[in-house]
Structure 1
Amino acid sequence: MGLPRWVLRFLQTIMAVRTQVAAMVHPSVLPDAPERARHERFMLTRLALGAAALGLAPAYLAWRGALGTFEALLLIALVLPLLAVFVLSRSGRLDLAHAISATALALFVATLAGVTGGATSPVLLWLAALPAGAMLFGSRAYVLRAGAIAAAALAGVAALHQFDLFAAPAPWIVAAMPAVVAVAVLHVVAIGAALLRRRDGEQRERRATDSRAQLLLDHVGDLVTWHDATGAVVFANAAARALAGAEPRDLHGRGLLERVHVADRPLFLKALSDAAHGTGESSACFRTLFVPRDLEPSLPVALWLEMQAHRVADGDVQDGVAVVCVMRDVTARRALDEERTRVHAELLKANDVKGQFLATVSHELRTPLNAIIGFSEMLGSDHAALLDAGKRLEYARIIHGSGHHLLDVVNTLLDVSKIESGAMTIEQEPLDLAAVAKDCCALMALRAEAGAVALEQVIGRDLQAMLGDKRALKQIVINLLSNAVKFTPAGGRVTLAVIRDGGTIDLSVSDTGIGIAASDLPRLGDPFFQAKSSYDRAYEGTGLGLSVVRGLVGLHGGSLTVESAPGIGTRVSVRLPVGGVEAAAQPVKIATFARAPRRGLETKIPFRLTA
C-alpha cells in the first residue's frame, strides 16, 4: 500500500521548500558543501518559526482584539528571524544573521518575562538557550556573541523591574506559564540533543576517516610516520615491518631513530628539524639497519630510504603531530645508479686506456719500423755497393734487432690480452728456478753492461724443484730484470735473489734506481702505466711488463709485493708455491709499500753469491 495522499503532498511541500531554500543560499558559500548545509539549516528553522508566528497571528488577534505593547513586542520577536533569513540570503553573513536571530529570541524571552513576574520570572532561564544554541555553529565567536545578547536582555529586564514598569501578570498568562516553561525546557533539551548528535556524528566521522586512512596507509608500500615537535614518532604504518624491521608501535618515540644507520642519523634529524622549524619541507636519503625477525639465521639488512618530510599546518595538528614523513625504499634504484656510475667510470677508463694504448703502441712500433724501413732501403738502393761489409752487417743487425723488438711488443700485447680474457694457460712441470734465474741474468748481462749497471745474483741453499711453467717463469724474471736495469742509472746495482721460505720460494729483484713515487704505487700493474721519473730522460716501453708479471704470478697462485721510494730504489718480491696450483687463478693484486727496500739481505738468510 502507498502512503496517504496528504502525506505525499506534505512531503512534496517539504521538498519544494528545501529546493527554494537551497536557491536562496548566497553564491559565496556554494563551493563549500558543509558551510552551504549550515546556511540551509539556519534558513529552514527560521523560516518555519516565522511562518508559524505569522500563521497564528490572525487567530490571536481575533481572540485578543487590538494589539497591545506585549503583543507588538512578541510579533516583532517572531518576525525578526525572517529578517535574519533575508540578511543571510543577500549577504552570506551567517554571523550577522545569527546575531539577529539571537536578538529575536532574547526579545521574545524578555517580553514574556515582563508579563510573568519581571526579574523573578522563570522564563528568564530560557536565555541560557542562546549560548547553548550558538555551540551548534562550532565557533567561539558565536557563543560569546549569543552570551552577550542574553546578558544584555537579562540586564534590561532587571533594570526595568527596578522601576516597577512591569504590570501584574494576567490570570491567563499565569495559567499558561507551565506550558511556556515546558516549551523553554524542550528548546534547551533539543539544543542539547543536537549538540550530542553532532558530537557523536563528528566522532563517528573521525573514526571512519581514521579507519580509512589507516587502511590506506597500511596498504601502501611506503613507510609513513607522524612526528611531534621534538622529532619523536607518534604514528607509523604497517610498512615499518618491511622497511624498519619492527612493528609500527616499536617505532614510537626514538624507535625509528635507533634503526637509522649511525652515520646517517645527523642527516635524518636535520631533515626533521628543517621541516618542523624551518622551510616546512625537506628531504633526505639515509640507511636503515635492522635484523629481520622472520629469517633464520638472522642477518643484518641495510636499506636505503628516501624521505620527504612536511610540516603540518597549525589548523590540522592533532595529537601533537608536527611533521609527516613519507619514506620509500630506493635500495634498488641506488644500486642501479651506483652501477651506472661504475660502468660510466669504467667506460671512461677504457677510453683513456685505448687512447694510451694507441699512443704507446704507435710509439713502440714507429721507432723499429722506421729503422727497418730506412736501413732496408739503404741496403736495397743503388748505393748499397758503396757500403763496406761491416756497414751492411751492422744494418742487418739493426733490422734484425728491430724485428725482434716488434715481435716482443706483439707477444707482450698478446700475453696481456690472453691473461685479461682468461685464455692464458700454464703447463706445470718440475723445474729448477735457480737455473731459470741464472739463464735470465745471462740474457740481461749485456744490457746491464751497456748501461753500466752491476747485475748480481743471490741464490739460496736447499732450493728444491718446483712445479710451474718454465716459459712463464722465465718471462716473469726477464720482465722484472729489464725494468730494474732500465730504471737504474749508471753506477747502480740490480740484485736477483731466489731463496726458499718453507713451502714457498721467494724470488725478488732489487735495484738502486730512481724509485717510484707514493702517488704512483697504487697504479702499478695497470696496462700501459709507467711511473713518472725524477730524471729528465724518457724511458721507452709499453708499460705492460708488470701487468704481464702480475697475470703470470696469479696463474701460478703466487703473490706480488712492491716496495719503493724515490731516489732509493725498488724491490719487487714474487712468492710462488713449491707444489704449484690446482687451478688457474686470476691476476694478483699488487701489495705496495712506500718505503725503502730492505737492505742487508745476505746477513739474514744464508745464501751463496755466484758470479
Structure 2
Amino acid sequence: MTMTAIRTQVAALVHASVLPNSLERMLHERFILTRLLVGAVALGLVPAYLAWRGTLGTLEAVAVIAAALPVLAVVVLSRTGRLDIAHGMSATALAMLIGAMSGMTGGATSPLLLWLAAIPAEAMFFGGRAYVVRASAIAAMTLLVVIALQYFGMFAEPASWPGGAMPVFVMVAILQSMALAAGFLRRRESELREHRASDARAQLLLDHVGDLVTWHDANGAVIFANAAAKALAGAEPHELFGRGLLERVHVADRPLFLKALSDVAHGRGEATACFRTLFIPRGAEHQGHLPVSLWLEMHAHRVANIGAEAAGPRDGVAVVCVMRDVTARRALDEERARGHAEALKANDIKGQFLATVSHELRTPLNAIIGFSEMLSTDVQGWLDEEKRLEYAKIIHASGHHLLDVVNTLLDISKIESGTMTIEQEPLDLADVAQDCCVLMALRAETGGLSLERIIGPDLPQVLGDRRALKQVVINLLSNAVKFTPAGGRVVLAVVRDGDMIDLSVSDTGIGISALDLPRLGDPFFQAKGSYDRAYEGTGLGLSVVRGLVGLHGGRLTIESAPGIGTRVVVRLPIDGVASASLPVKIATFARAPRRGLETKVPFRMTA
C-alpha cells in the first residue's frame, strides 16, 4: 500500500469535529499515523518474542500491554476527537514500556530510564504547555515507581552490562533525539506554510473588501491596513502604520476617534464612531486639487493578540477596526434633516399666514359687514345723505384693501412658483416715480410727513415692466410712510450709476434692529411684529419687492438702525434681462448710530 493510500485511510479516522480546522486536523492525522505504526511494529514483534521466550514474565506482560495501548489511544481519538486524552494514554503507554524494560535491565540503575526524557519532548509535537506538563508528570511518576520497586526489591539483581553496551544506548538516544528534532522542524515548517497560506487568503479577501480594515495595538497605532486605504484615506496601506491614519482624520474628529480606540482597548471591548477623513488624492498634490472629505463609520472590536500570551494584559490586546464610507448616507440624512426643518418652517409659516391674514382681513370685513348692515336696515331714513356717502366710501375703501391683500398673495404665489412673468418695454423711471409720489402724497400729508422726490440728470429709459416697477416703488414708499412718525421725512431718489439705475427710498422712521435685519423679505415678517402690533400690514411687501426685482435682474440693499431710519436701494440694469430669475437676495447693513442717510456699516448678508 502506498503512502498516499495510508494517508487517505488515516484521514478517514479523523473525528468530524476537527475537520474545519486545518491545523487541528493535521495534528490528529500525525498522531494517528505514528501510533498505528508504533503499535503495529510492537505488536508484530510479540509473536517472535513469544516463540523465543516461551512464556512471559510480569514485566514482559506489562511491556506487551504498553505496546498495545497506542492503538487504543487511536480508537479513543477517532471516536471522541479528544487529542489530550489520547495523548495522555500514549504517554502513559510509553512510560510503562520504559519502566518495564528498565525493570528487566537493572531497575533504577538501568540506562533505559534516560528515555523518560523523550516523553515530555515528544509532547511538544501535539500541544502546548498543558501537554508538556502532563507528559512530564507521567515521566516523573514512572521514575518514582521504578525507584520504589527497586527499593522494595521487586526487581531482579542488576545485570552486568558489557563495556560496549553504553555507547549503543547513547547512539540510540542520539538517533531518537535527531528524529524528534526532525519531526519538530517538519511540524514547524508545515505550520508556517499553513499560516502563510491562511494569511495570503485573508489578505486577498481583505484587499477585495470595500471597507477599510485596520489592526491597532493597545496604544492605538496602526500595525495593519488593507488596500481600501487608497480609496478611503488616500494612502498606501503601509503609510497608515503608526499615526498615519490619525493624521488623515479631520482635526475636529480626532478626539472622538482616539476615545473610541481607547474605550475598546481598555474598556467595554467594542465601540462605534463616525468621523471624517481629509486627504488630497494621490498624485494630485501639485495639481491644485482640493482635499477630499469622507465620512467613515467605524466599528471597533478588541481581540487577543495572537502570540502575546506571555505578555502583560495591555500588551496582549489588539483592536480591529472596520471602517465604511457613509458619506452618501450622511448627505441623505442631512437632506432629510433639512427637509424636516423646512417642513416645520413651512408649517410655522402657514400658521403665521393664517394668523396674519386673518388679522389683516378681519378689520375691513367687519367694516364692510357693519356699515352695509346699517345702510340696508335704515328703512326709517334716519341716516342723512352725508352719512350714507361716508359709509359707502368706507365700504369702498375696505373692499379695495381686501383686493390689495388678495392681489399681493397671488403675486407672492406666482413668484414662488416661477409662473410670474414681466413684459419688458422702454419706460421712464422718472414718470413712474412721479406717479407713485402722487398716489402716496395724501397718505404722507395725513401722517404729517414730508414726501420728497429727487431725479438725477440724463436718466435713460429702462427696459422693464411698468406695472411691476410701480408696485415695487409703491410698496417701498408705503412701508416708509407707515413706519415714519409725524414730522419725519421720506425721500424717493432715482439716479444713474454707470449701466445701472439706483432707485432708493429713505426715511427718518423707527428703523430696524440688527437682529431683525436678516429676516427682512421673509413672507409675513414684520420687525417687532405681533398679532396686536401697532403697524398694520401683511408683511408681504418686501417679499413682493424681492421677487419683482429678481425678475428684472436687479439687486436690493437695505440699511437701517433703530431711531435713525431706513434706506432701501434697488439697482436695476438699464438694458433689462434676458430671462426671469429667482427672488433677489437682500444685502443688509446696520447704520452707524448717528443721523445721515449716507452713513452705513456693513452688517451681514441674507437671502
Could you state the TM-score of these two structures normalised by the residue count of structure 2? 0.81
Match of 1:529 in 2: 525
Cα gap change, 1:462 to 1:320, in 2 (>3 Å): farther
Q: CA deviation at 1:524?
A: 1.2
Aligned counterparts of 1:426 and 1:67: Cα–Cα separation in 2: 124
From 399, 405, 428, the equivalent of 2:401 is 405
Match of 1:234 in 2: 223
Cα gap change, 1:122 to 1:395, in 2 (>3 Å): same
Match of 1:387 in 2: 383
Moved more, 486-495 or 540-549: 486-495
The 5-angstrom pairing of residues 159-178 of structure 1 reads 167-169=158-160
Match of 1:485 in 2: 481
Match of 2:293 in 1: 302
Moved more, 538-547 or 148-157: 148-157
Q: CA deviation at 1:139?
A: 0.8
Aligned counterparts of 1:595 and 1:249: Cα–Cα separation in 2: 59
Q: CA deviation at 1:110?
A: 5.8
Kept after mapping to 1: 8 A contact 2:304/2:316: no
Match of 2:243 in 1: 254
Q: CA deviation at 1:339?
A: 1.9
Q: CA deviation at 1:279?
A: 1.4
- RMSD (CA atoms): 4.4
- The 3-state SS of whatever aligns with 2:276 is strand
From 595, 601, 604, the equivalent of 1:599 is 595
Match of 2:318 in 1: 322
Q: CA deviation at 1:547?
A: 0.5
The 5-angstrom pairing of residues 1-150 of structure 1 reads 49=38, 53=42, 56-57=45-46, 59-64=48-53, 71=60, 74=63, 78=67, 98=87, 101-102=90-91, 104-106=93-95, 108-109=97-98, 123=112, 125-147=114-136, 150=139
Q: CA deviation at 1:544?
A: 0.7
For the pair 1:457 / 2:457, whether they are aligned, the reply is no
Q: CA deviation at 1:308?
A: 1.0
- The 3-state SS of whatever aligns with 2:259 is helix
Aligned counterparts of 1:597 and 1:414: Cα–Cα separation in 2: 39
Match of 1:608 in 2: none
Kept after mapping to 1: 8 A contact 2:525/2:539: yes
% identical aligned pairs: 73
Match of 1:545 in 2: 541
Match of 1:216 in 2: 205
Moved more, 506-515 or 219-228: 506-515
- Paired amino acid for 2:272: S
Match of 2:184 in 1: 195
Aligned counterparts of 1:390 and 1:479: Cα–Cα separation in 2: 33
Q: CA deviation at 1:362?
A: 3.5
The 5-angstrom pairing of residues 469-508 of structure 1 reads 469=464, 470-508=466-504
Q: CA deviation at 1:144?
A: 3.8
Aligned counterparts of 1:89 and 1:212: Cα–Cα separation in 2: 30
Aligned counterparts of 1:247 and 1:387: Cα–Cα separation in 2: 96
Match of 2:312 in 1: none
- Paired amino acid for 1:197: R
- Paired amino acid for 2:366: N
Kept after mapping to 1: 8 A contact 2:564/2:594: no
Aligned counterparts of 1:368 and 1:535: Cα–Cα separation in 2: 16
Moved more, 408-417 or 498-507: 498-507
Q: CA deviation at 1:467?
A: 1.1
Kept after mapping to 2: 8 A contact 1:261/1:286: yes
Cα gap change, 1:218 to 1:41, in 2 (>3 Å): closer
Kept after mapping to 1: 8 A contact 2:233/2:245: yes
Kept after mapping to 1: 8 A contact 2:356/2:538: yes
Aligned counterparts of 2:451 and 2:58: Cα–Cα separation in 1: 138
Aligned counterparts of 2:345 and 2:207: Cα–Cα separation in 1: 47
From 329, 349, 353, the equivalent of 1:357 is 353
For the pair 1:440 / 2:436, whether they are aligned, the reply is yes
Match of 2:336 in 1: 340
- Paired amino acid for 2:417: S
Kept after mapping to 1: 8 A contact 2:70/2:93: yes
- The 3-state SS of whatever aligns with 2:557 is strand
Moved more, 516-525 or 85-94: 85-94
Kept after mapping to 2: 8 A contact 1:516/1:533: no
Cα gap change, 1:492 to 1:590, in 2 (>3 Å): same
Match of 1:467 in 2: 462
Q: CA deviation at 1:56?
A: 4.2
Q: CA deviation at 1:479?
A: 0.9
- The 3-state SS of whatever aligns with 2:476 is helix
How many corresponding residue pairs?
587
Could you state the TM-score of these two structures normalised by the residue count of structure 1? 0.80
Q: Which one has a larger percent helix, Structure 1 or Structure 2?
A: 1
- Paired amino acid for 1:311: R
Unaligned segments of structure 2, at least 5 residues: 310-314, 601-607
- The 3-state SS of whatever aligns with 1:394 is helix
- Paired amino acid for 1:459: I
- Paired amino acid for 2:297: E
